[in-house]
Amino acid sequence: MIRPVSRLLAAAVAALLLAPVAPAHAAGTPYTKAPVSGSLSTYRVSGVYVAGVSSGAYLANQIQVAYSQRIRGAALFAAGPYYCAQNNVAQALYGCGDNIYPTYLSALQTYTRTWAGYGWVDPVSGLSGEPVYVFHGGSDGTVKRSVSDDLVRYQQHFGASVQYDSGSAAGHGWVTPYGTVGCTATAAPYLNDCGTDPQQTFLRKLFGSVQPPNTGPLGGTLVRFSQHTFAVGGWANGLSMDANGFAYVPSSCASGATCRLLVALHGCLQGHSRVGTAFVDRANLNQYADTNATIVLYPQAVAVPSNPNGCWDWWGYLGATNYPIKGGAQVETVMNMVRRLGG
């Protein structure tokens, strides 16, 4: 005969055995959130930061310089200095990816100061003391080391506090613990696993300190929103931007907590139309967002005839010369999203 205490124990064991068990989570596979259609809301945002890879890093740098009074810091992977292409596709290819041409760094610095004087970009004093993280991989043949060196020199020229991570063997891509290609590869979806966590490093640089990431199920919401709402002219596709973008909103931010806002810009061939939500899911940003009260905005570019690889406009492919300054179509479209979110 089973005694009462034993009956309770037996019942508890049976309940445990019959309870649904969460599936095992493979190492290197992040927990994700399915996108939910909605609109961008306004939150209590304490500061705005930008990050990007390749063409996304070039656009992030354009936003940083144009709005340096508002942008608190930048993390730039695999890119060169501001306005490197100078509205010229040949310069973009041979001077800002390859190093056959020079970057004309001193001219870029002069343009920046001149445009600040015109009010086309914020005063360069906004860059002074700003935390900036620059990453270049040793196996990156798409953007040469000397080009990223000049990005560092550009930022330092205006007084930014730069951390340069150039010791990795990475190929051309966004390095993340959730990468799906080998460290030295330059291959789709350009998410490289080098056994390191650059996101922890650059978030610590940008924020001053960082809490460990959430390695369990994500607690926030991934919102899929219309980019047409924010597009200059009202039609995102006309700006080589996709119909929809994404924003990850931690539950604490949705509940009214004060949060940071990080704009994360994918690279060429890395937008939703090419790789689905791979960058959104595997960039290792939502995991840190949950534990560091940070909203992550993921604008999306898309291919058009003048931009077949779905890059961001850092060489003038939209046909307007104001692409790197205030009023530039993609710069302003992204900033419209930032403003709506409360940044």
Which residues carry out catalysis?
A: 54, 140, 172
The DSSP H or E segment spanning 245 is strand 244-249
Any idea what DSSP says for residue 95? H
Residue whose structure tokens are 């994700």: 32
How far, in Å, are 221, 225, 239, 255 from residue 38 at the CA level?
10, 5, 22, 17
Q: What are the residue ranges of helices labelled H in 132-173?
A: 145-157
Angle, CA of 343, 131 and 301, to the nearest 5° = 55
CA-nearest of 240, 239, 243, 248 to 229 is 243
Q: What are the residue ranges of helices labelled H in 3-104?
A: 4-18, 55-66, 89-95
Q: Report how far residue 245's alpha carbon sits from residue 243's, in angstroms, rounded to the nearest whole number.
A: 7
How far, in Å, are 63, 84, 157, 179, 283 from residue 28 at the CA level?
32, 35, 39, 7, 12
Do the Cβ atoms of 172 and 190 come closer than 8 Å? yes
Cβ density class 161-192: b for 16+ within 10 Å, e for less: ebbbbeebebbbbbbbbbbbbebbbbeebbbb
Do the Cβ atoms of 85 and 91 come closer than 8 Å? yes
Q: Report how far residue 147's alpha carbon sits from residue 94's, in angstroms, rounded to the nearest whole number.
A: 10
Any idea what DSSP says for residue 68? T
- Quick count: other Cβ atoms within 10 Å of Cβ 89? 12
